[in-house]
Structure 1
Amino acid sequence: MKQLLLTLTVLFVLTGCSNDDKNLDTNNIIGTWKLHKTQNGYTYTFNTDGTFKSSRFTKCLTGKYTVSSDKLTLDYDCEGFTTQIETPSGTFIENFKLEKGYMYLSPTYLTCDEGCSYKFKKISD
């Protein structure tokens, strides 16, 4: 009985930690990511200094980002920039997940009946 309990404890320790812990390592986001399986998909490039560049919007291409647990906050740094769907203006908060080499972003500022999640593939470090 003790051996069974010990075996179960070891299995729990080895498998009980979720791979989601890797999501908290913000270094995994560094590099350039492209919207996957879309023609002319936009990109994000995340730098180690907390800045990013994006081809998502033509009126503003740069800003600062932060990762907190499962949220990615993108603060575009162009004065007066807004798409009128985000609050506050120029700040986009995305649900964020890294999984099996992909980055998944789901906007918190949109209501999607069928869910809206965007899959990005890393194209360079």
Structure 2
Amino acid sequence: MKSLFLTILFSCLFISCDRDENSIKNTSIIGTWRLTQAKISDGGLDTKWKLVKNGEQYTFNADSTFTSTQFSECSTGHFTTDGNILELDYDCDNFNTGLENSAGKLTRYFRVENNTLFLNPSNCIEECTYKLKKIK
């Protein structure tokens, strides 16, 4: 009887576990966003926001998938968030931007304020911040 109870208990625990790699810990990113401004430093003091026309678009879905118009070679993938870290894992075989981390994902720091998504690539040495407005 004891072994039956333990078998049922472990079965319930196994079934109820969620794969952490597919979790979205910060749901404020869900929606469609368009790049509208960028602040990128070339090492000088002039780091003002500059308008971006026809900026790239990202759609982050509740099922941890995303679409992006940033790269013409690949536009779909899966994402995770943890604290202020966003990781984008593009789906396309042999797709590489040269900016991926050791796990093959693009890493961005992010924050959401008043329907504005701020993205900072983790590989920037100088100031580089992208401002995206929520459109859906």
TM-score (norm 1): 0.73
Amino acid at match of 1:123: I
**Offset of 1:99 from its aligned partner?**
1.2
- Structure 2 counterpart of 1:121: 133
Task: Calculate the aligned-residue CA RMSD, in Å.
Answer: 1.8
Consecutive unaligned residues of structure 2, counting only runs of 5 or more, are 1-23, 37-50
Please give the alpha-carbon distance, in whole angstroms, between the structure 2 residues aligned to 1:55 and 1:90. 19
Amino acid at match of 2:135: I
- Decide which of 63, 70, 74 is 2:84's aligned counterpart: 70
More contact order relative to length (CA 8 Å, sep ≥ 6): 2
SS of structure 1 residue aligned to 2:135 = strand
Deviations 1:4-36 (A, max 9, x none): xxxxxxxxxxxxxxxxxxxx9622211100001
Consecutive unaligned residues of structure 1, counting only runs of 5 or more, are 1-23
Amino acid at match of 1:119: K
SS of structure 2 residue aligned to 1:60 = coil
Identity across matched positions, percent: 41
Does structure 1 conserve the Cα–Cα contact (< 8 Å) formed by 2:75 and 2:90?
yes
Please give the alpha-carbon distance, in whole angstroms, between the structure 2 residues aligned to 1:62 and 1:30. 15
- Decide which of 106, 116, 124 is 1:110's aligned counterpart: 124
TM-score (norm 2): 0.67
Deviations 1:64-88 (A, max 9, x none): 0011001011111111111112224
Provide the aligned length of Structure 1 versus Structure 2.
99
- Decide which of 41, 59, 66 is 1:45's aligned counterpart: 59
SS of structure 1 residue aligned to 2:28 = helix
Does structure 2 conserve the Cα–Cα contact (< 8 Å) formed by 1:73 and 1:92?
yes
- Provide runs of 4+ in structure 1 moved above 6 Å: none
Please give the alpha-carbon distance, in whole angstroms, between the structure 1 residues aligned to 2:120 and 2:90. 17
